[in-house]
Structure 1
Amino acid sequence: MQSVTAIVVAHDGARWLKETLAALRRQTRPLDRVVGVDNGSRDGSGQLLAEAFGGANVLTMPRSTGFGEAVHEVLGRLPHDPRADEWVWLLHDDCAPDARALQTLLWAAEHAPEAAILGPKLLDWLDRRVLLEMGVTVSRSGMRETGLEPREYDQGQHDGEGLLDVLSVSTAGMLIRRDVWDQLSGLDPELPLFRDDLDLCWRARAMGHRVLNVPEAVAWHAEAAARRRRRLAVSDEHPRRLDRRNALLVIMANLPFGALIRSVFRNILGSLLRTVLFLVAKQPANALDEVVALGSIIGRPGRLRRARRRRRQGRKQGYPAVARLLTPPGAAFRRLADMVQSFVAGAGPVDSAGRHHAAAETDEDDGEDLLSDSGLMQRLFTSPGVLLCLALLAVTVAAERSLVYGGLLGGGSLVPITGGASDLWRLYTESHHVTGLGSDTWAPPYVALLALVSTVFLGKTWLAVSVLLLGCVPLAGISAYVATKKMISYTPARVWLAATYALLPVATGAIASGRLGTAIVFVLLPVYASLATRIVAGSRRAAWGFGLLLAVGTAFVPLLYVLVAVLGGLAAVSFAGVRRGVGVALAIGLGTPLVLLFPWLAGLVRDPGRILLESGLHDIALSDPGLGGENLLMLSPGGPGAPPVWVTAGLVAVALAALLVRRHQMVVAIGWGVMVFGVLVAIVVGRLTVHGVPAWPGVPLAFAATGLLVAAARPARWIGEFAAGGMLRRAAAALIVVVAFATPLAAAAMWIKSGAEDPLRRGVRDPMPLLAAVGSAKGQGTLVLRPRDGVVTYTVLRGSAPLIGESDLAAAEDASQRFGTAVAGLASGRGGTYARTLAQYGVQFVSVPGPVDATLHRTLDSEPALVRMSLSAGGGLWKLAQPAPAPPPPPGGDSAHRIWLWAQATLLLVVVILASPGARAAEAEEQYADVPLEEPRGRRRAGEDRVRV
């Protein structure tokens, strides 16, 4: 004989309690006893219970009473009949069971006699199609897992699975045998709210009982406490902190000792990661909850010891039965990916209960097939952006066929790429650099950026540089395609614009010349333009993001900041007085790079000519000083890798056509204004020289190209409108398409035909001769001489090839002058004291890469202070007859340098947090707070009318 006692615990739940009580009255299986507990409600919940059950069947408890304590009090007053098969049905005041819920649960109990705890399928109270739980498991880190997709609709897809063996079911609708309750001493009073059901079911499992979810039994749950729809009186702690703390307590109290130790380390690392994600998502309260929750468990070992002592017997005997129901270890990576994806999407990280902090409302068909592998692959390979990237990647591989594989990558402005991420980190963080003649200047900040990217590529600097430089065309295409999403709704026009931008002469010229800085700026420019449109609307988050990315570009190409600052000043004059917040946003965007790059930028101010230089080598003339005006107007910077000037004629023609369109003249005017500004700067830059080397106008022309594309975007977006019109309009659209697509198609064809031109190449020689590397003592140098056009340039190597960035380190001026004079004397045949000067600076070898100039090798052979070691077509090597002393050890650590490095890292973290997308303005729980219960959200299926009263 089955006997069921229903216990309804209420706490300020009148808004849900009416429907819960009505649902109890409609049960097809009558209840044998009903008892209500009112935990100090102030909204009339106690009166509703008394009206439904009678005053004698309602127990009043203090407001601080927990759910488990209330049930304990009731069952302590109700006698237990050992002859009856007695069951206890636990119900929250915000849980309304279906009319057949109890009958179905008891039916399942009859068919599974070994089951001690059963629970219904829980659906959302408001959107009654959404599944909440069908049993719950947990990871060894305490992370709750329902096995359901976010906002998964109940379409009966799980009902055919029958009774489900689960680790835990919720106390909202839990049916438990009375004798098992007594055996387990019920819910743990240490867990007054949250995770008490998990702990109870875990202990039941450990004692050999089954815990089942019954999909045919249905209940609707509002999750009022978890969704913060009412204030908690049982604890002063924030609900999330309380939930996380209880989760850790349950895990650590029930795990065996070995698994406990692993769980402690796992939770420390996991909490640190979640804390960082919460901070980046601008949720400091949640980050604090994460830290405090972990500290409340680890910092109070006595409490954990008592909890483990109470669970000793079940933990030793029944853990294997529980372990198979815990979340598999691999699921932790999926949850991490979900957290990162949720953060990137702006919804905020996922909480410990497996819910997003800002779950979006969706229509009935939203999400269908989106998470399946086939749906993802289909959408991926039919996406215009992905197809564009693949096409540009194919063009790039075909054009760079000579650069795809081989030896060292170098040439032009790019030093041969050697070393790894650790070498770059060392170069950036050390205060004294022993390279060359020694330098105490700040390492250029782009070294740290390359070190960071190299770290992502598993420490492979050559791979990071190859992706950034050789892959700048597809990267720029994707950047332009994504950046124009809100500007152009017509997809073919976006594809054309992105492809045209990616294949501009600036990109191919930057690759051929090894200009890594220009390649990176070229990829970032569309992002700058997109963020700038939001900055002039007053968005501060966009301003922080703009400032961060501007600092990245400026670190490689200082001229970039000057160009942006001029345009920013013009924007301030035009918009600051019209739109609120624009001035502050512009100040943030332009001020952030100054703060992040301060010491290095201060050095540039003392040598203004360096502003025209970018990262890399500067002793090779790669620019065309006599570049004509027609080249600049056609956006061609000249030099290696530049296609014929007529390649970009289609883009210019479309942009000119934009001047004839009457609509959106302001946008077209701004685009042409940026274009004219970029061309004027390019004209000036192209006629300047720095240290005898002509400056390259590539970056100003990239600015001009960006403005031209903004102007051309307007007629491009109307192609769809023209194509839908009459014959004349369709003919005009066809003409525009032919002219427009001529530019990227011609550029791609010319690039593939000519290939990646010199000077960038694969298989360059290591500038450090092997004999010198093997024969030199630690710290001794090798002088590398390179005669070109009657001028001898030199480099001093210290035991290995130079790292990228070392060429930008300036030695002391007096040392440079004295050493340069000695090199000139040695190369001109006036050795003697000059050779001794070289030895004083630690030079032991003199190397001349092949082919060796005959005059120079005769001069070096005739020098008594030098002894020839080798001479061939590959180069020559001489050794100083007198051993060079080892250079003095570097000075001790510079405390000011270390302080700024830590300050810079801190500032960078703050800017990243401020620039990152945070949680949406309103959380899902708060959105639900004021919704009338009589009008649940979401559409119902035809004929659906469950539980409504």
Structure 2
Amino acid sequence: MSITDSRPAHHTVTAIVVSHDGTRWLGETLSALLAQTRPVDRVVAADNGSRDGGADLLARTLGPNAVLTLPRSTGFGEAVAEVLKRLEPAGGVEWIWLLHDDCAPAPDALLELLRAAEADPGAAVLGPKLRDWLDRRLLLEVGVTVDRTGRRDTGLEDREFDQGQYDGVRDVLAVSTAGMLIRRDVWDEVGGLDPFLRIFRDDLDLCWRVRNAGYRVRNVTRAVAWHAEAAARRRRRITVSGAHPRRLDRRNAIFVVLANLPLRPLLWALPRNIAGSVLRALLFLLAKQPANALDEIVALGSVLAHPGRLLRARRARAAGRARNHGAVDRLLTPPGAGYRRLVDRARSYLAGGPVDSAGRHHAAAARGGEDGEELLTDDAGATRRVFGNPGVLLFAALLAVTLVAERRLLGGGLLGGGALVPVTGGAQDLWRLYTEGHHPAGLGSDAWAPPYVAVLAALSSVLLGKTWLAVSALLLGCVPLAGVSAYAASRWIVPGRWRRIWLASCYALLPVATGTVAAGRLGTAVVFVLLPVYAALATVVLSGARRRARRAAWGLGLLLAAGTAFAPVVYPLTLLLGALAALAFPRRGVGGSVAIVFGVPVAVLLPWLVQLAGDPGRILLEAGLHRPELVDPALPAESLLLLSPGGPGMPPLWVTGGLIAACLAALLMRRDRMVIAIGWGVALFGVLVAVLVSRTSVTAPGGDGEAPAWPGVPLAFAALGMLVVAALTAGRIAEFRAAGGARRAAALGVVAVAFSTPLLAAGMWAVRGVDGPISAGARDALPASVKAASRDGERTLLLRSRGGGLTFTVLSGRLPLIGESDIPSPDGPREAVGVAVAGLASGRGGDDARVLAAHGVRFVVVAAPVGPEISRALDSQPALARMSLSRELGVWRLTQPVASPPAAEGDPWHARWLWAQALLVLVALVLAAPGSRTGGAADGVPQDAPGTEREPVAR
């Protein structure tokens, strides 16, 4: 092939077009190339075995002598190298202009690239700004960078339009080979495109080597080209390699990073890539994309399995690598950008935003500086998006109110009091409590630990083993968490941002919430946060597309299991409402989804539910202690109607009057009658159940006698129904306000009354603070003298005066862990010890002390107040020796030998079920996770259209 210079000049440009099954774009590409205002000096094309007439089109346009035909399996870099072998160097400074068959440059693209080259003699590679082929306003690239795990980063928002925001000439780590202008002498010096990287990441590797050689790589935004990204978007078949494109891309990504980093950064990047690939594979499995998970692992293995190839590549790139690493390192994606991208994707998914199967990201990322090698980040844009989000602002406001109200709980010491057992131990202790077959605490028990212990253990594990932090987040943070939960979940139910803010703030500041914190009710706190999510997922189950409804059903089933574990009354409430909803809205497949929702909790909690069925009254109790002083035994009906469950921490009844008035105003609306009826039906159902619960007393698991149930959970159901009704009908109130006259005045009055509820509730709670038995300085019920004198296995009998009677608790040398108080003791030992306690308290002699000794009790401790009657009765017992006595505490010790607790026997059935339970939870998580039909992309590049997958690199 012989090609002569057409116009010798100081700058000579040779354009090389590589074609492969790209006829649908090639004609426009060639027309754009030949229409350049600064004409190219010579044009050469290589066709890699096109089967759509591409070679003929090239020959007709450029002439047969300007077209080189190559095998179909030839890579892009190999094609360019073959062309350059046949071309003699041109005069002057020769530039090679690389063009894909689906890349059409603007008429002045080459002119602008050469102007930038003349302005900066150190620039050896220049690239245009790339826009989308179809939507020509859409930005694709203004240069690219990469992080140390190989994640390619364009630094652009999802579907960001070109408004001149990146205009200028800037240093970047790399530019795409689609429109790349590179000096031929530099190409020869660095060895051109690596033939091992036949497709994907070859441009990144080339530019990295150019920068290590001491040259600059720049993006010129005045030069524009439109790129179809045909291979990346699967618009044509990729035949240069037998491997799957995603696998090939991921392999090349890891290879390029490990080949080009200096030794010290490599030593950190290698384990980071291994850990990252394993984590990504696990995430792909959870997202039901096993093929992508396999690609991730095989890609990593294909690099690590050939260390010789990697070492040869590192030797070939050794020149200048360490010397120029500082300049390159400033252009790599900062380590925090990946985490910001992950947070943005999570926020987008939780808010119902588009998270497609390609795994597109919305994070702002690194870009090269305007002058010099400075890395700029768009943190300001990310900050504006985060702190401009109404949900974030709502959370911040509720958090501020919470911190003020809980000011006396934010100090050191044990958090406890009311229904909350003083928080001790860590995640390891909770896991042991949940998994052990025999519990030595108290009088010993073979019963199942309550499943909420496993939930707390998992959350504590995430929080570095800090159980106190997990409990504090759930209990003390339930108000802001419930606000965010209601705001996010109402997106599927209530239109309008301000309506959702009002609904969320009213819900978060209900008397149920303030009473929950004051009384230390961890179970209600968890359910209170989850309840809006239940409503949102139930809406999807009943009305969503079948596949989406099934995923929502599995997710709702898992969350319902968690809520049931903390407060069992949740399950029958939702079961009845779900059955009625399924009958009221019959759709194909709804029955199966509803069965999943209510079948998952039964399957996951089965052994504990069987245990619960033996004492059905416990369904009305929740996690924690059950003390009569925490419940108002004569709760008036007006309190329940005003959504006040009674007990400590309740605001005045008039605080919620505005909410009730707004909900009653909805009854006057003539529209949305069905919505109003459903909402009020839920509300009345919740109030009715609350009335029944508040009038019921239940025997506590520890055997401390009758304990009245608290109606907080059913009132939360009722309040949510009312709030949804009021929020959905708020649009009609806006119409009244626009009508003028009396209607306008009435509408403004309703709005004012409605907004009074969250404002009054927040103000009252902030001023009064948390008014209840919970405190941050809970006392250890076991005196130091008892702890010092007790031996392993010895127990302590703790006596308390309560309600004119005496209650007892058996402790095993330490404070009980969360959950131990909810493990039922065996009836026989409990009754025997109860009889012995009654005998001791009455001063009756006999075998009472021997009964205690037979059950391992060595110490008897009387908590404040210590009355003279009980102290005299215990002093009269010859088998008890007083150790100390005051009005605050009394301690006695048994003088006779104490029996050791029986050794626990292994229970293989218990261990097998724990493994089965873990498997059930894992399966439900996988089925609840969002999946995709075509699999996720390896990097953050969006899909082109539904059902069309894009590869994570532009080509």
Q: TM-score, normalised by structure 1?
A: 0.88
Note the residue ranges of structure 1 that are not aligned, 5 or more in a row: 358-370, 932-949
Per-residue deviation at 1:372? 6.4
SS at match of 1:848: strand
Per-residue deviation at 1:797? 1.9
Per-residue deviation at 1:456? 4.4
Establish whether residue 717 from structure 1 lines up as the match of residue 731 from structure 2.
Answer: yes
Establish whether residue 771 from structure 1 lines up as the match of residue 785 from structure 2.
Answer: yes
Q: 1:65 aligns with which of 55, 68, 74?
A: 74
Aligned to 1:680: 688
Per-residue deviation at 1:244? 1.1
Task: Give, in whole Å, the separation in 1 of the partners of 2:617 and 2:800.
Answer: 24
- Kept in 1, the 8 Å contact 2:344–2:362? The answer is no
SS at match of 2:647: coil
SS at match of 1:414: coil
Task: Give, in whole Å, the separation in 2 of the partners of 1:679 and 1:335.
Answer: 44
Aligned to 2:579: 569
Point out the more displaced range, 338-347 or 216-225: 338-347
- Kept in 1, the 8 Å contact 2:415–2:423? The answer is yes
Per-residue deviation at 1:389? 4.6
* Matched residue type, 1:519: A
- Kept in 2, the 8 Å contact 1:118–1:169? The answer is yes
- Kept in 2, the 8 Å contact 1:347–1:356? The answer is no
- Kept in 1, the 8 Å contact 2:883–2:892? The answer is yes
- Kept in 1, the 8 Å contact 2:234–2:948? The answer is no
* Matched residue type, 2:716: A
- Kept in 1, the 8 Å contact 2:193–2:202? The answer is yes
Aligned to 2:460: 454
Point out the more displaced range, 688-697 or 123-132: 123-132
Aligned to 2:925: 912
Per-residue deviation at 1:786? 1.3
SS at match of 1:231: coil
* Matched residue type, 1:773: K
SS at match of 2:945: helix
Q: 2:518 aligns with which of 512, 532, 539?
A: 512
Per-residue deviation at 1:806? 0.8
Aligned to 2:611: 603
Per-residue deviation at 1:21? 0.5
Q: 2:564 aligns with which of 527, 551, 554?
A: 554
Point out the more displaced range, 211-220 or 410-419: 211-220
- Kept in 2, the 8 Å contact 1:342–1:350? The answer is no
Per-residue deviation at 1:715? 4.2
* C-alpha spacing 1:560/1:797, structure 2 compared with 1 (3 Å): same
- Kept in 1, the 8 Å contact 2:14–2:95? The answer is yes
* Matched residue type, 1:10: S
Listed one character per residue, the Cα deviations across residues 869-916 of structure 1 (whole Å, up to 9, x for unaligned) are 111222011222245355455444x44444433443343334334434
Listed one character per residue, the Cα deviations across residues 523-568 of structure 1 (whole Å, up to 9, x for unaligned) are 3223322332222214223322322221121111101101111111
- Kept in 2, the 8 Å contact 1:338–1:350? The answer is no
Task: Give, in whole Å, the separation in 2 of the partners of 1:728 and 1:65.
Answer: 79
Q: 2:43 aligns with which of 26, 30, 34?
A: 34
Percent of matched pairs sharing the same residue: 62
- Kept in 2, the 8 Å contact 1:346–1:917? The answer is no
* Matched residue type, 1:132: L
- Kept in 1, the 8 Å contact 2:934–2:947? The answer is no
* C-alpha spacing 1:300/1:340, structure 2 compared with 1 (3 Å): farther
SS at match of 1:670: helix
Point out the more displaced range, 371-380 or 803-812: 371-380
* Matched residue type, 2:622: E
Aligned to 2:667: 659
* Matched residue type, 1:875: L
Aligned to 1:11: 20
- Kept in 1, the 8 Å contact 2:855–2:901? The answer is yes
Listed one character per residue, the Cα deviations across residues 603-644 of structure 1 (whole Å, up to 9, x for unaligned) are 112221221211111254533344344443333333333445
- Kept in 1, the 8 Å contact 2:158–2:942? The answer is no
Listed one character per residue, the Cα deviations across residues 277-314 of structure 1 (whole Å, up to 9, x for unaligned) are 44444544433322221122123334334434544556
Aligned to 2:451: 445
- Kept in 2, the 8 Å contact 1:254–1:315? The answer is yes
Aligned length: 912
Aligned to 1:869: 883
Aligned to 2:3: none
Task: Give, in whole Å, the separation in 1 of the partners of 2:198 and 2:759.
Answer: 69
Establish whether residue 580 from structure 1 lines up as the match of residue 598 from structure 2.
Answer: no
Point out the more displaced range, 853-862 or 114-123: 114-123
* Matched residue type, 2:647: G
SS at match of 2:98: strand
- Kept in 2, the 8 Å contact 1:346–1:920? The answer is no
* C-alpha spacing 1:17/1:506, structure 2 compared with 1 (3 Å): same
Task: Give, in whole Å, the separation in 1 of the partners of 2:251 and 2:407.
Answer: 57
* C-alpha spacing 1:505/1:3, structure 2 compared with 1 (3 Å): closer
* Matched residue type, 2:771: E
Task: Give, in whole Å, the separation in 2 of the partners of 1:754 and 1:251.
Answer: 58
- Kept in 2, the 8 Å contact 1:40–1:62? The answer is yes
Point out the more displaced range, 714-723 or 13-22: 714-723
Q: 2:676 aligns with which of 661, 668, 673?
A: 668
Task: Give, in whole Å, the separation in 2 of the partners of 1:917 and 1:25.
Answer: 47
Listed one character per residue, the Cα deviations across residues 324-360 of structure 1 (whole Å, up to 9, x for unaligned) are 54334444434444554455555448979x8779xxx
- Kept in 2, the 8 Å contact 1:116–1:211? The answer is yes
* C-alpha spacing 1:896/1:310, structure 2 compared with 1 (3 Å): farther
Alignment of 1:925-944 (within 5 A): 925-927=943-945
Establish whether residue 254 from structure 1 lines up as the match of residue 272 from structure 2.
Answer: no
Task: Give, in whole Å, the separation in 1 of the partners of 2:86 and 2:650.
Answer: 91
Task: Give, in whole Å, the separation in 1 of the partners of 2:767 and 2:455.
Answer: 34
Establish whether residue 205 from structure 1 lines up as the match of residue 191 from structure 2.
Answer: no
* C-alpha spacing 1:36/1:503, structure 2 compared with 1 (3 Å): closer
- Kept in 1, the 8 Å contact 2:438–2:445? The answer is yes
* Matched residue type, 2:831: Q
Aligned to 2:703: none
* C-alpha spacing 1:488/1:727, structure 2 compared with 1 (3 Å): farther
SS at match of 2:618: helix
Aligned to 2:813: 799
Task: Give, in whole Å, the separation in 1 of the partners of 2:198 and 2:665.
Answer: 72
SS at match of 1:409: coil
Listed one character per residue, the Cα deviations across residues 641-696 of structure 1 (whole Å, up to 9, x for unaligned) are 34455554444444344333322222222222223322332333233221222222
Q: 2:796 aligns with which of 779, 782, 791?
A: 782
Task: Give, in whole Å, the separation in 2 of the partners of 1:376 and 1:108.
Answer: 31
Per-residue deviation at 1:41? 0.9
SS at match of 2:517: helix
* Matched residue type, 2:137: R
* Matched residue type, 1:119: G
SS at match of 2:450: coil
Establish whether residue 129 from structure 1 lines up as the match of residue 132 from structure 2.
Answer: no
Task: Give, in whole Å, the separation in 2 of the partners of 1:500 and 1:123.
Answer: 47
Task: Give, in whole Å, the separation in 2 of the partners of 1:203 and 1:408.
Answer: 59
Aligned to 2:508: 502
- Kept in 2, the 8 Å contact 1:6–1:90? The answer is yes
Task: Give, in whole Å, the separation in 2 of the partners of 1:468 and 1:19.
Answer: 60
Task: Give, in whole Å, the separation in 1 of the partners of 2:409 and 2:344.
Answer: 38
Task: Give, in whole Å, the separation in 1 of the partners of 2:87 and 2:384.
Answer: 61
Alignment of 1:535-550 (within 5 A): 535-538=541-544, 539-550=549-560
Q: 2:275 aligns with which of 269, 274, 293?
A: 269
* C-alpha spacing 1:250/1:888, structure 2 compared with 1 (3 Å): same
Task: Give, in whole Å, the separation in 1 of the partners of 2:164 and 2:497.
Answer: 38
Task: Give, in whole Å, the separation in 2 of the partners of 1:159 and 1:221.
Answer: 18
- Kept in 2, the 8 Å contact 1:340–1:349? The answer is no
SS at match of 2:801: strand
RMSD (Å) for aligned C-alpha atoms: 3.3
SS at match of 1:536: helix
Per-residue deviation at 1:468? 2.6
* C-alpha spacing 1:903/1:267, structure 2 compared with 1 (3 Å): farther
Aligned to 1:368: none
SS at match of 2:50: coil
Note the residue ranges of structure 2 that are not aligned, 5 or more in a row: 1-9, 364-376, 700-705, 936-940, 950-955
